[in-house]
């Protein structure tokens, strides 16, 4: 009673205060899960993924026939004339640094309070590697970024350059890699494993020349080899199986963000591709009863780079004659609501060249521009009016990517390594799976390798990084003039510099 007279502890009822999570291991794993759920923003409308799609040469979002999508935020990305307050850039920044904060917090709390339990080191290692992944993305986009790795630090985080940050990410991976699980089993699906850590390391080394001026092709080769030699992954017999609705069993998946029509339904954590690319005429074909925004289409020049024999073109894009639900060719008839008179009718045949379109001047007609169809649209009718997520999981790291990186690392080292690259059986399997002839060592030029990567990994979010690494990012392409060197880094959002005065803006902005 005497204590009650001066006790001022707050009692919380309708939220969970942090302390409560450390009562049981089950709650602790729920607590750690937030480092993973922050990954799910990858596939939403204004995300790291869509930002990279726009900045690359694969996708464009011109104004459509009803005047939508004329937002400046897309035009800025399309033309590489990016403003410091661009929403997608800010969302991408938040994606990285909210994720880093979540990892820092989970690590801090586990180390500080949790008693030892089975798998504690593994959970900690997972947090370190997810954080390394977020830092890797931030290094890629902004280069010079705030460094904050401990919750105990006070004050504004300092800004560090690319070389320092690459070193940090490398050290983290090397230090914690071995604590991770190696096996690719359902228990570790969607989680960080040794395969994921090595793929991340390979990507870091592969871009090392661009980011730190120090080529590390051999290190990249070795990291890829570790993934290959783990024998946990293999190529799917069928390319399309990687992208089907229930694609969680794919042997190619090294690091995936699982999505669900039911559980990842809100706008900040969904995989929203069908909303972004389909329109109201195509929705019924897929039995999709949801608002469709008719925005994202393929860039015609990129579409034109496919070999006619390449089955990945049809596996990635939707074009040509479309069909209705019953399989009949889609014929659109538009009637006046009042008089019922037919005002317009046309066959729904998509023209991927978008002939006659002037970017953001003439509205893009529904039949202009190839739609993004790499991930199979579910036709089970589960996508209803309020649902915004597809059920397809997003394989961020895929075995085919590792093989292509491995080949690239070999080719870049030149000499006998080129022949070694041509002899990688999985590489040729990627070619033949796509209906193409195997590539000879002579054909293994960097340009050809780039083209192969761009088709195999189209729309998977790596185009911008690859274009930069292959020295093509500053070239002019459809809807974009030639760029300047500073554009390879993105501007640091104004709001972030306002809340951290240590951050200097990247050159050129």
Partner 1 sequence: MRKLILTLLTVFLAVGLNAQTRTVTGKVTDEHGEPLAGATVVAGSSYAVTDLDGRYSLSAKTGAEVTVSFLGYDDFTFTVSGAKQDIQMVPSEATMLNESVAIGYGKTTKKEITGSVVSLKSDDFDKGSFTSAAGMLQGKVAGLTVTNPDGGDPNASFELLLRGTGTLVAGQGPLIIIDGVADADIRSINFQEVETIDVLKDGSAAAIYGTRGSNGVIIITTKRAKAGHSSIEYDGQVSVQTVARRATPLTASQFVDVINKYSPGNVASLYGDDTDWFQEVVRTPISHKHSLAVAGGSDSFSHRTVVNIEQNQGLLKKNDVNKYLYKTNIHQEAIEGWLSLDYNLNYVHRAYSGANYDIFRQAFIHNPTEPVYDKNNTLSGGYFRIDGAMDYLNPVAMLNERENDSNVDNIGASFRATLNILPIQGLKWDNFISWQTERFESREYSTRYYPSLIGKDGKAWISNSTSSNIQWESTAQYSKMFGLHSVQAIAGYTFQQNVSQSSGLENTGFDSDLYKTNNIGVGSALKEGMAYMESYKESSRYIAFFGRAMYNWSERYLASVSLRLDGSSRFGANNKWALFPAVSVGWRISQEEWLKDKPWLDELKIRAGYGVTGNQDFSNYKSLLLMSPKGHYYHNGYWGSSYAPRSNANPDLRWERKSEINAGVDFSFFKSRLSGTLDLYYRHTTDLLYTYKVPVPPYDYEELFTNVGTINNMGAELTVSAIPVKSKTLTWNTTLTLSSNKNTLAKLTNEEFKDGSYKMGHIGDPINTKIQRLIEGESIGTFYGPVWKGIWEDGTDDFVGSIAGKVAEEYWSNLGTAYPFLNIGWSNTLHYGNWSLSATFRSAIGGKVYNTYRACYENVTRIGLRNIISSWLDDTSFTGNPIHSSKYLEDATYLKLDNVSLSYDFNFKNPYLKGLRIYFSGQNLLCITGYKGVDPEVSLSGLEPGIEGTSYYPRTRSFTLGLNLSF
Residues interacting with partner 1, by CB under 8 A? 5-18, 21, 29-31, 33-34, 36-38, 40, 94, 97-98, 100-102, 104-105, 146, 148, 150-151, 153-157, 186-187, 189-190, 258, 260, 262-264, 266, 269, 386, 495-496, 498-501
Residue 94 Cβ, how far from partner 1 at the closest point, in Å?
8
CB of 97 to partner 1, least distance (A): 5
Query: From CA 360, how far away is CA 479, in angstroms rounded?
Result: 10
Q: Shortest Cβ distance from residue 320 to partner 1 (Å)?
A: 35
* Nearest residue (CB) to partner 1, 29 versus 484: 29
Rank residues 5 and 23 by Cβ distance to partner 1 and give the closer one. Answer: 5
Closest-CA residue to 349 (of 368, 376, 325, 328): 368
Nearer to partner 1 among residue 376 and residue 393 (C-beta): 393
CB of 151 to partner 1, least distance (A): 6
* Residue 67 vs 237, nearer CB to partner 1: 67
DSSP assigned state of 491: P
Supply the minimum distance, in Å, between the C-beta of residue 247 and partner 1: 13
> DSSP labels for 135-181?
HHHHHHHHSSEEE---TT--SPPEEE-HHHHHHHHHHHHHHHGGGS-
Least separation in angstroms between CB 64 and partner 1? 20
Q: What angle do CA 473, 463, 191 make, to 5 degrees?
A: 140
Q: How far is CA 236 from CA 199, 433, 442, in A?
A: 18, 9, 27
Residue among 115 and 338 whose Cβ is closer to partner 1: 338
- Scanning the structure block, which residue is given the tokens 């001047």? 361
Q: Smallest distance from the beta carbon of 321 to partner 1, in angstroms?
A: 33
Strand 297-298 to strand 59-60: parallel, antiparallel, or no bridges (unpaired)? antiparallel
Q: Which is nearer to partner 1, 151 or 472 (CB)?
A: 151
**CA quadruple 222, 129, 190, 461: dihedral positive or negative?**
negative
Closest CA to 41 of 105, 103, 88: 88
Which is closer to partner 1, CB of 28 or CB of 282?
28
- Please say whether the beta carbons of 222 and 407 come within 8 A: no
Structure tokens belonging to residue 74: 């897309």
């Amino acid at each position: 009673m005497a204590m009650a007279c001066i006790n001022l502890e707050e009692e919380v009822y309708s939220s969970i205060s942090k302390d409560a999570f450390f009562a049981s291991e089950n709650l602790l794993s729920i607590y750690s899960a937030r480092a993973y759920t922050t990954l799910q923003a990858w596939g939403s409308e204004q995300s790291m993924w869509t930002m990279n799609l726009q900045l690359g040469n694969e996708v464009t979002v011109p104004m459509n026939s009803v005047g939508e999508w004329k937002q400046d935020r897309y035009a800025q990305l399309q033309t590489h004339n990016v403003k410091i307050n661009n929403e997608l850039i800010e969302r991408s920044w938040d994606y990285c640094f909210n994720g880093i904060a979540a990892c820092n917090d989970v690590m801090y709390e586990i180390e500080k309070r949790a008693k030892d339990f089975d798998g504690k080191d593994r959970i900690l290692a997972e947090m370190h590697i997810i954080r390394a992944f977020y830092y890797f993305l931030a290094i890629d986009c902004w280069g010079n970024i705030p460094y904050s790795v401990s919750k105990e630090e006070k004050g504004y985080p300092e800004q560090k350059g690319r070389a320092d940050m690459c070193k940090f990410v490398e050290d983290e991976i090397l230090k914690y890699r071995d604590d991770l699980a190696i096996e690719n089993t359902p228990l570790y699906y969607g989680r960080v494993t040794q395969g994921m850590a090595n793929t991340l390391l390979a990507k870091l080394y592969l871009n090392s020349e661009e980011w730190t001026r120090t080529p590390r092709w051999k290190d990249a080769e070795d990291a890829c080899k570790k993934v290959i030699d783990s024998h946990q992954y293999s190529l799917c017999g069928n390319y399309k199986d990687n992208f089907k609705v229930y694609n969680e069993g794919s042997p190619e998946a090294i690091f995936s963000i699982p999505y669900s029509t039911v559980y990842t339904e809100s706008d900040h954590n969904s995989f929203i591709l069908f909303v972004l690319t389909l329109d109201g005429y195509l929705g019924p074909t897929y039995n999709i009863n949801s608002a469709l925004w008719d925005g994202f289409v393929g860039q015609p020049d990129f579409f034109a780079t496919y070999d006619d024999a390449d089955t990945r073109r049809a596996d990635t894009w939707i074009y040509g004659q479309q069909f209705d639900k019953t399989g009949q060719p889609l014929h659109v008839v538009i009637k006046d609501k009042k008089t019922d008179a037919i005002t317009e009718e046309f066959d729904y045949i998509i023209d991927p060249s978008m002939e006659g379109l002037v970017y953001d001047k003439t509205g893009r007609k529904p039949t202009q521009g190839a739609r993004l169809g790499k991930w199979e649209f579910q036709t089970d009718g589960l996508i209803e009016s309020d649902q915004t997520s597809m059920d397809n999981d997003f394989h961020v790291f895929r075995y085919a990517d590792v093989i292509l990186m491995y080949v690239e690392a070999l080719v870049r080292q030149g000499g006998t390594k080129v022949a070694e690259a041509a002899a990688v059986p999985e590489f040729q399997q990627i070619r033949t799976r796509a209906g193409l002839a195997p590539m000879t060592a002579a054909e293994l030029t960097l340009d050809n390798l780039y083209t192969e990567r761009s088709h195999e990994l189209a729309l998977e979010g790596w185009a911008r990084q690859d274009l930069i690494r292959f020295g093509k990012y500053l070239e002019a392409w459809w809807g974009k003039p030639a760029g300047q060197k500073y554009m390879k880094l993105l501007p640091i959002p104004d709001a972030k510099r306002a809340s951290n005065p240590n951050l200097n803006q990247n050159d050129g902005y």
